Amino acid sequence: MNVLVLDGNQNQAVASVRSLARAGHTVFAGEAASWSKAGWSRSSSGMFRYPSPQGPVDAFVQSISTFVRERPGTLVLPMTEATTLPLSTHRDFLISAGARLILPDHSDLLRAFDKNETTRLAASLGVAVPKTVVVTDPQQARAAAQSMRYPVVLKPHSSEELSSDGRLRTTGRPRYASNSVEYDAAYREISSRSLAVLVQEFVEGEGTGYFALMHHGELRAEFAHRRIRDVYPTGSGSAVRTSVPVDPEIRRASLAILSALRWHGVAMVEYRKKAGSPAVFMEVNGRFWHSLPLACYAGVDFPALLARMAEQGDVEPSATYRYGVRCRWLLGDARHLFEVWKGPPRGYPGKYPGRLRTLLQVLTPVPGTYHDLFQWRDPLPELGDWLNVFTRLITGDR
């Protein structure tokens, strides 16, 4: 089967290209740039450049349509919200052109991508959630500032927004506030890039996630890891992590949420967990995740399973994988060190790593560690990763 993997400069795209080629598929790496680190992989049969989905969405969709018309039956795999949303919106057109897509119903996908909707859903299912207020105008912002207990986190209601003119925009990272002055500054900044702002109580604890492949709301494969270092110490995707058994409490909560969403395809459900306290729901990421390479190394080959589901309609449930497998994103770990040396962001109330201890941890090799990107038999994606970040620094596109 032909497979078009989008967002080729994402780590999960590299893992997907390698996985799908091993499974015998002909894989093309797509990206809005002229090259991508996934396209540089030896496992890629070719590169495909498409218009940015953050430009006019119609141009992006038409480009994907042209690709699949030339290769009917191509499975199209988006790696980010920015490509998933327009594909889902125009799914009927793309399917008529010959594309295969593994996605939930569009209404369920929109619910999953809306942080307020998923927080409400989790609460209705008895899952612990942070106190949350949705703010859409300055008056509501002032009311929230008076009603919430500090410290708080302010975040966009979704990672990507579709504007009335048909363009997508990335809404950016959360901000933190320990008092009303910091709150006002954070709200002004986030409201300039998001139509709605979520104000949530700050939840201490370690970030943890549940990773799953679902078939119309039913589990087919699962995975869990423990984060050792996040790219951003305040919370983000991990730079270093190790595979662990699934926490039964988190499994129950996650499956309740994904089943209620009638989820079809892959997803990550994210929590904050403090020892001795219930896991607190944070969000659903209805797509492949950045740390996907670890799952593949540990034995849960999500991309290959998804492709088999596309071909056969379903797959047999699988629940076994190796524990204690360690994986590292080298550039992400360097970014972690950089962020630690910068110091905590304004208003951040949580515990922050020490500089010298972090330097020692990052520089000390751990035998047996796998890498998200570097492989001796396929080294170019690692080179592409560093070249990509240097290019963005030079051009100012961060």
Which residues neighbour 112 within 8 Å (Cβ) at sequence distance 6 or greater? 104, 118, 261, 263, 267, 284, 286
What's this model's pTM, rounded to 2 decimal places?
Answer: 0.91
Pairing of strands 26-31, 2-5: parallel
Question: Please, which residues bridge with residue 214 across strands?
Answer: 219, 265
pLDDT at 270: 95
* Rounded-to-integer distance, Cα 185 and Cα 188, Å: 5
Query: How many other C-beta atoms can be found within 10 angstroms of the C-beta atom of residue 139?
Result: 9
Cis peptide before 278 (omega within 30 of 0): no
* Angle 76-77-82 from CA coordinates, rounded to 5°: 110
| For residues 348-357, average pLDDT | 86
φ, ψ at 263 (rounded to 5°)? -70, 140
DSSP code of 207? E
Backbone angles phi, psi at 210, to 5 degrees: -125, 130
Look up tokens 């504007």; give the residue: 163
Q: What is the pLDDT of residue 360?
A: 94
The mean-pLDDT minimum among 215-224, 325-334, 336-345 falls in: 336-345
Spatial separation of the C-alpha atoms in residues 231 and 63, rounded to whole Å: 33
161 pLDDT exceeds 80? no
Rg of the Cα atoms in the chain: 20
Percent of the chain with pLDDT over 70: 98
Residue 382 has pLDDT above 60, yes or no: yes
Higher pLDDT, 318 or 211: 211
- The residue with greater pLDDT, 390 or 372, is 372
Mean pLDDT to the nearest integer, 307-314: 96
Average pLDDT, the chain: 92
The structure tokens listed for 126 are: 């008895």
Backbone angles phi, psi at 30, to 5 degrees: -105, 150
Among the residues of the chain, which ranges form H helices? 11-22, 57-70, 81-89, 91-97, 106-113, 115-124, 138-147, 180-191, 248-260, 292-298, 302-312, 330-342, 355-363, 380-395
The DSSP letter of residue 159 is S
Hey, which of 69-83, 195-209, 331-345 has the most confident mean pLDDT? 69-83
pLDDT of residue 396: 66
The confidence band for 357, taking pLDDT boundaries of 50, 70 and 90, is: very high
109 phi and psi, to 5 degrees? -65, -40
Query: In what order do the strands lie in the sheet containing 197-201?
Result: 132-135, 197-201, 152-156, 175-177
**b or e along 30-58 (b: 16 or more beta carbons within 10 Å of the residue's beta carbon)?**
bbbeebbbbbbbebbeebbebbbbbeebe
What contacts 204, CB < 8 A, 6 or more positions away? 272, 274, 350, 351
3-state SS string for 23-34: CCCEEEEEECCC
pLDDT of amino acid 205? 84
